[in-house]
Each structure stands twice: as C-alpha cells, then as structure tokens.
Amino acid sequence: MSYLRNCWYLAAWSDEVAAGALLARRFLDEPIVIFRDGEGRVQALNDRCPHRFAPLSRGRLGDGVLSCGYHGLAFDGSGRCVRNPHGPVVGSMAVRRYALVEAYRAIWIWMGDADDARVDRLCDLGFLDEAPDTAFSKGYLHGEGHYQLFVDNILDLTHADYLHADTLGSGAFTRTRARITEAADRITVLRDCRNEVPTPLMRVFRGITEEDRVDYWNTVEWFAPAILTLRGGNLPAGAPRDGTLDAMATMNVHIFTPETARSTHYFFASTRDFAVDDAEFNARFAETRYRIFTTEDEPMIAAQQDRIGERDLADLQPLMLRIDEGSVRVRRKLQQMIDAESASARILDK
C-alpha cells in the first residue's frame, strides 16, 4: 500500500511517553519504538535490532540508550550502535531513526527521510495549547479499518443523524447541503443549519426542548494526510452571530495515523468556549465523546472494513451520493500528492 511519507503523522500524545518508558507502535506498516533520551527529548527508531531482528521495544532503556533485550547491542537516539558486548562496533550495526517533533501536546513523526523533515510543514493546532485543562480532553483508540474510512466518517457528518441519533443527530445535517471549498493546503466542508431541531446534547447543554429551534453550524477542515479540525457552534434560531450571545462553540481535532492497510491509530481532542472552568462538566463531556467513538463510530467502521475486505474501496465501485463529495475530493487530492511524491522519488533514484 502507498502512503504519503514526507509529512507529519501524530505518533502519540506527549504524556504517553514518560521518562524511562518505551512505546512500541506500528506506523505505515513499519514497527517503531519511541522513547526519551537522557535530556528528555523524544526519539524514534525502527523497532528491529539489525542483529537477529528482535524488537528493541523488548529491551531496556538507560541514560537515553536503548539496549536490545536479546543480545545486548545498544543504540542511542541517532540509531548509532554505542555498545556491542560481543566485539567491535561497526557502521552496519546502525538502526534507522525517524524525525520527531513535540508540539500541541503531542509527538509527531516524519515517515520520510529524517534529514528532510520540515517543522514548517506541521499543521497549526495552536488552539490545543491555549485550552485550559478544565476545558480540554483528549483520547486515543485503536481502530480496525483503513485510515481513509475514518477520514470519510468525519467529512460526512450526515452519519450523525443515524449512527448518533440519541446524542449528536437531529436530521439537520441530512437536510442541510454542505458547501465545499478547496485551497492549496486544505479542503473545507461547511454546514450551516438554520431554524433546526436541536440535537439531544444541545437540549441538555441549553436546557431547551425538542420543540425549540436553533441555528447551528459546523466546519470540517482536512489537512493532508489525515488531520481534521471540526469547529461548531449553536444559537437560538434567528439570534445574531455577532458575539453578543453565547454560541456554545466547540473546537475538535480528529487525527488518523495509518498502522496497517486495515488498522488505524485514532487520536482525538476537544476544547470549548463555554463552561471552561467546570472540570466536572469537562469529564462528563469527554466520557460521552469517548463512548460515542468507541461504541458507535469505530465498530461501524470495523464492520465496514470487514465487508470491504482486502480490496480497495474504489475497486468495489461504491454507489456515490452527493453527501460523498467531500470525501471524494479529499481522496483525490491525497492520491495526487502521493503520486507526485512517488514520481519525485523515482526521478531522484535515477
């Protein structure tokens, strides 16, 4: 399977990698071990000792040096072998290193050549850093399914009217046609629902009933390869959107890193501009969101992947509806980027 490589993928939340700990994960079908060196900087190596190919993540970390648990060869954060208990250290003992950057409460990995990693290519998610802890929550789940199926799920929020009918759905997303725009670095899907039935969660948050009417909007922005920001807000129907009333806005990210062709690392985080000092509300909000993702979204996508099997979605010629426009445009743009990257690599190889 082909992936975009010269880009940043979310590898872990920062607090998943504590000092002295090893985190083993697979990204783009490659086994990788992440750890902190003696100065606390995050490092990533291919999780395979060059000797007998044992996982380095089954070894021991000391003073920022990772020792293989099988025969004791030791490697620093650069991938260079620094100790061979059985003889001299030679250059062929090196392990591939991957470039990492720590930003926005997370650790990001560059899956292309580490020497070509560009920090300026990191998607700006500064609102995650700005959020107070009492109005911020994050999570991770292991998803069974191709990462683009998870991307499709966020791009087409009409699924909320059916899959999440008791929390996030009211029929408004289905009744409101999306406006889709494309720029050099993003594709945006906007739904502006007017004089609509409030969702069950809106009724709880606002203390209103199903008979009340609201205006609400939702903007999803996709950034390659699989970073999606989702911003939304709601007001009583007809209320001005000039900031004089509380729009109860939320800001979210859904970030998908391919593990294999049929499995995905799903990272998500959320903040908001209401009840920002209410830690108890924050915990309930996070629990509800986690329940929705783990008991509704992920099982449905896993079942979808089961029906697709090993085949490519496009090869099955799926019935296309107008609600698929956003995901079709994203898949097309991403494939163009992958093809261009592959073509450039072939030229450099000549």
Containing structural domain, residue 199: 131-338
Instruction: Note the pLDDT of residue 221.
Output: 98
CATH number where 98 lies: 2.102.10.10
CB 74 within 8 A of CB 67: yes
48-70 mean pLDDT: 95
Residue 241 lies in a domain: yes
| pLDDT above 80 (res 217) | yes
Instruction: Note the pLDDT of residue 27.
Output: 98
pLDDT digits (tens, 9 = 90+) for 124-174: 999 999 999 999 999 999 999 999 999 999 999 999 999 999 999 999 999
* Neighbouring residues of 219: CB distance < 8 A, sequence distance ≥ 6: 188, 189, 190, 191, 230, 231, 232
Which of 74, 90, 121 is the last residue in one of the domains?
A: 121
Residues 184 and 117 in one domain: no
Which of 80, 100, 121 is the last residue in one of the domains?
A: 121
Which of 78, 99, 121 is the last residue in one of the domains?
A: 121
pLDDT digits (tens, 9 = 90+) for 161-199: 999 999 999 999 999 999 999 999 999 999 999 999 999
Residues 239 and 260 in one domain: yes
Instruction: Calculate the CA dihedral of residues 128, 132, 134, 138 and round it to 10 degrees.
Output: 20
In the chain, the number of structural domains is 2
**pTM listed for this prediction:** 0.95
CATH number where 164 lies: 3.90.380.10
Residue 221 lies in a domain: yes
